[in-house]
Amino acid sequence: MNLRADLALISDWIKPGARILDLGCGDGTLLKHLRDTMNVSGYGIEIEQSNIVKCIESGINVIHNDLDEGINNFFDADSFDYVVMTQALQAIRHPEQLLDEVLRVSSDAIITFPNMGYWTNRVQLALGGHMPVTKSLPNYWYNTPNIHLCTLYDFENLCKQLDIRIIKRHVVDSQHKHNWLAKLFPNLFGEIAIYHITKK
Amino acid sequence: MPKTIAENSIGIVIPELHHFDEPLLLDCGKTLDEYDLVVETYGTLNADKSNAILICHALSGDHHAAGYHSMDDKKSGWWESAIGPGKPIDTNKFFVVSSNNLGGCKGSTGPTTKIPGTDTYYGPDFPIVTVKDWVRSQQRLMIKLDIPKWSSVIGGSLGGMQVLQWSIDFPDLIDHAIVIAAAPKLSAQNIAFNEVARQAIMSDPEFHEGHYLANNSKPTGGVMLARMLGHITYLSDDAMREKFGRELREGKLNFGFDVDFQVESYLRYQGKSFVDRFDANTYLLMTKALDYFDPASDYDHNLVNALQLAKAKFLVISFTSDWRFAPERSREICRALVAANRDVSYVEITAHQGHDAFLIPIPEYMAAFAAYMNKITDGFSESKSS
* CA–CA separation, A126 and B175 (whole Å): 59
Work out the average pLDDT over B90-105: 98
Q: Which of B341, B348, B368 sits opposite A56 (nearest CB)?
A: B368
| Residue contact B345–A75, C-beta within 8 A | no
Say whether pLDDT at B383 is over 70. no
Work out the average pLDDT over B197-202: 98
* Chain A contact present for B56, CB below 8 A: no
pLDDT band at B58 (very low <50, low <70, confident <90, very high): very high
Work out the average pLDDT over B298-310: 98
Query: What pLDDT, in 10s, does the model give residues A171-185?
Result: 987 676 667 888 889
Partner residues linked to B177 by β-bridges? B153, B314
Domain tally, chain A: 1
Which SS3 state, helix, strand or coil, does residue B177 take? strand
Say whether pLDDT at A57 is over 90. yes
**Helices in B96-219 by DSSP H: which ranges?**
131-144, 158-169, 188-202
Positions of E strands within B43-189? 52-56, 83-84, 89-90, 95-99, 150-156, 174-180
* A and B: number of Cβ contacts within 8 A: 52
Q: Which of A55, A61, A65 sits opposite B344 (nearest CB)?
A: A61
| Residue contact A53–B374, C-beta within 8 A | no
More confident residue, B108 or B3: B108
Partner residues linked to B354 by β-bridges? none
Say whether pLDDT at B29 is over 60. yes
Instruction: Give contacts of B362 with chain A, Cβ < 8 Å.
Output: none
Handedness of CA A80, A85, A89, A91 (dihedral sign): negative
* Chain A contact present for B339, CB below 8 A: yes
* CA–CA separation, A38 and A82 (whole Å): 14
Query: What pLDDT, in 10s, does the model give residues A129-172?
Result: 999 999 889 999 999 999 999 999 999 999 999 999 999 999 98
Say whether pLDDT at B88 is over 70. yes
> Residue B199: which residues within 8 A CB-CB, separation 6 or more?
none
B111 in Cβ contact with B103 (< 8 Å): yes
Which whole-number Å values give the CA distances from B327 to A31, B29, B333, in the listed order?
25, 35, 10
Handedness of CA B153, B159, B162, B163 (dihedral sign): positive
| Residue contact B348–A56, C-beta within 8 A | no
> Residue B26: which residues within 8 A CB-CB, separation 6 or more?
B32, B127, B128, B129, B130, B133
User: What are the backbone angles phi and psi of residue B73, rounded to the nearest 5°?
Assistant: -60, 135
Which whole-number Å values give the CA distances from B295 to A67, B225, B328, in the listed order?
30, 30, 18
Query: What pLDDT, in 10s, does the model give residues B285-301?
Result: 999 999 999 999 999 99
Q: At what angle do helices B280-292 and B188-202 cross, to 10 degrees?
A: 160
| Number of residues written out for chain A | 200
How many helices (H) and strands (E) chain A has is answered by 8, 7
Instruction: Count CA atoms closer than 13 A to A87's CA, side-chain side.
Output: 16
How many helices (H) and strands (E) chain B has is answered by 10, 12
Say whether pLDDT at A187 is over 70. yes
The predicted structure's pLDDT at residue A176 = 65
Which residue in chain B has the smallest CA separation from A59? B375
* CA–CA separation, A29 and A32 (whole Å): 5
Q: Exposed, middle or buried, A163 (CB in 10 Å: 0-12/13-18/19+)?
A: exposed
Partner residues linked to B97 by β-bridges? B41, B54
Say whether pLDDT at A100 is over 60. yes
* CA–CA separation, B3 and B283 (whole Å): 33
* Chain B contact present for A17, CB below 8 A: no
> Residue B296: which residues within 8 A CB-CB, separation 6 or more?
B184, B185, B302, B303, B305, B306
Q: For residue A148, give its domain range.
A: 5-199
The predicted structure's pLDDT at residue B3 = 67
Instruction: Give contacts of A66 with chain B, Cβ < 8 Å.
Output: none
Q: Which of A19, A62, A73 sits opposite B345 (nearest CB)?
A: A62
- Mutation to test the B interface, candidates A32, A35, A61, most B Cβ within 10 Å: A61
Partner residues linked to A64 by β-bridges? A46
A38 in Cβ contact with A3 (< 8 Å): no
The predicted structure's pLDDT at residue B384 = 46
| Residue contact A61–B347, C-beta within 8 A | no
| Residue contact A56–B346, C-beta within 8 A | no
B287-312 burial: b if 16+ Cβ within 10 Å, else e: bbbbbbbbbbeeeeeebbbbbbbbeb
Work out the average pLDDT over A55-83: 95
The pTM for the full model equals 0.95
B70 in Cβ contact with B57 (< 8 Å): no
Say whether pLDDT at A99 is over 60. yes
Say whether pLDDT at A8 is over 90. no
CATH number at residue A44: 3.40.50.150
